[in-house]
Copies of this chain bind each other. A is one copy, B any other.
Amino acid sequence: MARRRLTREESRDLTRQRLLEAGAVIIAKKGLNGASVEDIAAHAGYTRGAFHSNFRSKAELFVELLKRDHQDVQQGLQQILSAGLSLQDMQQQLQMFYSQVYRGNVSYVLWAEARLQALRDAKFRTRLSALLLEKRDMIAYFITQFSAAMHRQPPAPAGDLAFATMALIDGMRFYNACLPEQLPDASVQAALGTVFSATFFD
């Protein structure tokens, strides 16, 4: 394993990457407030010096984490949208996509943490809102597409229904994680299917 030496930039990027990953894990585990900079740095194999050399503060790393995850999700959705699939296939793709995205708990917990942060910090709220609105618009577009394909109007403003969709998915995700015996994956799928099809297709 003759690994070549890294350039300064590569090395720095690697550090940053590791800190971000460690941040995600530790923040998910202990909460934004419970995770110390020391924790995160140590888990990534560094000291606080490295952390502060890469991020101004924990909050900054956190926002970066959210942005990255948001980007990934948006890209995934965009891809499904622009693949030119039939309604059936699109629906199935969406279902698969969400079960993948939410497979690990980490990103879900980060967003839950972010929601709380938003409720109590106005500055953070505006930053998060921008991301939430992007997501809402993406979903609203799906809803519009579905309705158009069914030759109908959406039963309520598409944007509002998009929020409802996000609420439903996230909420069920929580109950599923918290009470897996009471609400197993299959039940979540079935319940979501029931509500969505009743709302959008019947």
For the complex, give the distance between the alpha carbons of A168 and B198 in Å. 15
- Copies of this chain in its oligomeric complex: 2
| A194 interfacial by beta-carbon distance below 8 Å | yes
User: Which chain A residues (94-144) contact chain B, with CB distance < 8 Å?
Assistant: 105, 109, 112-113, 115-116, 118-120, 125, 128-129, 132-133, 136
Instruction: Flag if A178 contacts B34 (CB, 8 Å).
Output: no
For the complex, give the distance between the alpha carbons of A183 and B195 in Å. 21
Instruction: Flag if B190 contacts A156 (CB, 8 Å).
Output: yes
For the complex, give the distance between the alpha carbons of A112 and B115 in Å. 9
Q: Knowing A113-B116, A199-B195, A202-B198, say if A163 contacts B175 (CB, 8 Å).
A: yes
Instruction: Flag if A132 contacts B175 (CB, 8 Å).
Output: yes
Query: A195: which B residues are within 8 A, CB to CB?
Result: 161, 164, 195, 198-199
For the complex, give the distance between the alpha carbons of A43 and B35 in Å. 25
| A45 interfacial by beta-carbon distance below 8 Å | no
Nearest chain B CB to A184's CB is how many angstroms away? Answer: 10
Query: A155: which B residues are within 8 A, CB to CB?
Result: 194, 198
**Chain B interface: which of A15-23, A25-33, A56-64?**
A25-33
